[in-house]
Amino acid sequence: MGNKIVVPFGSQHIALPEPVSFLFDTKNEIITNVKVDVGYVHRGIEKAAITKFEFTNVSYLLTRICGFCSITHAGGYHHGIEKLLDVEAPKRAEYIRLIITELDRIHSHLLANAHVAEVAGYENLFMQGVKDREIVMDLLENITGNRIQYDIYTIGGVRRDISKETAEYIKKQLLKLKDKVLKVYDFYDTDYTFGLKTKGISYISLDDAKKYNVVGPIARASGLATDARAEFDYLPYDEVGFEIQTRTEGDVWARNIVRQMEVIHSIDLILRAIDNLPEGDIKVKYKGRPKGETFVRVEAPRGECFYYLKGNGTKVLERVRVRVPTYSNIPILKELFVGEKYSDAQPIVLSFDPCMSCTAR
């Protein structure tokens, strides 16, 4: 029997990509109690959105909440504001939005998986993952003009069109990417030592996932088929044949596999969207000022992202509420640590793919 030792994990830690602090009470390396602090990077974005910016400009602020989910925040905001202004984006714009959103999901998932591999002790696998991710980043840079902050959304459409040559280029690169991803997928799936480090760690049952309202790949790895892409109408996912990807194991390994499956599915979705890209305008004009309130749910790479917008007929909105996926996954993460070994804490945190700059806003 050992003594109780308090081990701090974060806010600065070699395995953590972003500042979050956990205080573990440990007994013989087993964690017995957890304290969590998530608010290190609070920047008052909700306040700035309703005081300093007009509704046409809020999007540039909101996309800078977080690099990975920048397109999701733009999506959540624009789908909401378009309802308040009563405009509808043309079909071609919707498809371009879908393509960018899915490309963003691919690069986020690839990095998340690579990160888990790294902290589980596979630095080479991390490099493989990040190498593949570069293909997607180049594609995004080609289409939107920037690697992280795409700013492609605008009220009533998109700002840039996809030309025929670019479409061909995307198709070629994605087929190349699919081969590479399948190779890495094989490794995640079958490698024995990777399995030892990840299988059975931090198990979430289906019942727990529902009780704690878990979202995103973490929920889908536990067999809970929840996905805002299927549960909410915001982009033409039905038309390109979207299906929810689930596993039932509910551990770190299953989360990685779900993400990898989603990457492959996203590639398929983009290829179908490019083949069926409708002709027409990419932008429509809008009139008036936002009035009323609306609720929007969109699917970020990490899970469901919720937006609440309220306008009062002036240029500045009255309330902007952002609830990001990590925000609703932190409660279960806190519970999960209890009973696990301290050495497994890193893969557990990173399998959740936490995004603190989203959570604290």
Residues 6+ apart with CB under 8 A from 207: none
Residues 6+ apart with CB under 8 A from 274: 99, 162, 167, 170, 171
Residue (83 or 199) nearer to other proteins, CB:
83
Q: How far is the CB of 204 from other proteins (least distance, A)?
A: 13
User: Looking only at Cα atoms, what is the longest distance across the chain?
Assistant: 71
Q: How far is the CB of 291 from other proteins (least distance, A)?
A: 14
Residue (143 or 254) nearer to other proteins, CB:
143
Q: Calculate the alpha carbon distances from 19 to 13, 31, 259, 349 in Å.
A: 8, 21, 23, 12
Residue (199 or 334) nearer to other proteins, CB:
334
Residue (259 or 361) nearer to other proteins, CB:
361
Nearest Cα neighbor of 96 from 80, 77, 74, 111 is 74
Q: How far is the CB of 360 from other proteins (least distance, A)?
A: 6
Residue with tokens 């990685």: 256
Residue (325 or 347) nearer to other proteins, CB:
325
Q: How far is the CB of 42 from other proteins (least distance, A)?
A: 4
Residue (97 or 109) nearer to other proteins, CB:
97
List, in sequence order, every residue forming a beta bridge with 310; answer none if it has no partner: 293, 319
Residue (38 or 117) nearer to other proteins, CB:
38
Phi-psi map region of 228: left, alpha, beta (phi>0 left; psi -120 to 50 alpha): alpha
Q: How far is it, in rounded angstroms, from Cα 318 to Cα 290?
A: 10
Helix (H, G, I), strand (E, B) or coil at 305: strand
Q: How far is the CB of 107 from other proteins (least distance, A)?
A: 16
**Which residues lie near other proteins (CB under 8 A)?**
37-39, 42, 44, 46-47, 50, 53, 56-57, 60-61, 64, 79, 82-83, 88-89, 131, 134, 138, 141-142, 144-146, 149, 151, 154, 159-160, 210-213, 225-226, 230-234, 294-297, 304, 306, 308, 310, 318-319, 321, 323, 327-328, 330-332, 335, 360-361
> Quick one: which H or E segment has residue 144?
helix 123-144
Q: How far is the CB of 3 from other proteins (least distance, A)?
A: 28
DSSP state of 140: H
Q: How far is the CB of 135 from other proteins (least distance, A)?
A: 11
Contacts by residues 337-340 (CB-CB < 8 Å, ≥ 24 positions apart) = 337/22, 337/24, 337/31, 337/34, 338/31, 338/32, 338/33, 338/34, 339/30, 339/31, 340/30, 340/31, 340/201, 340/202
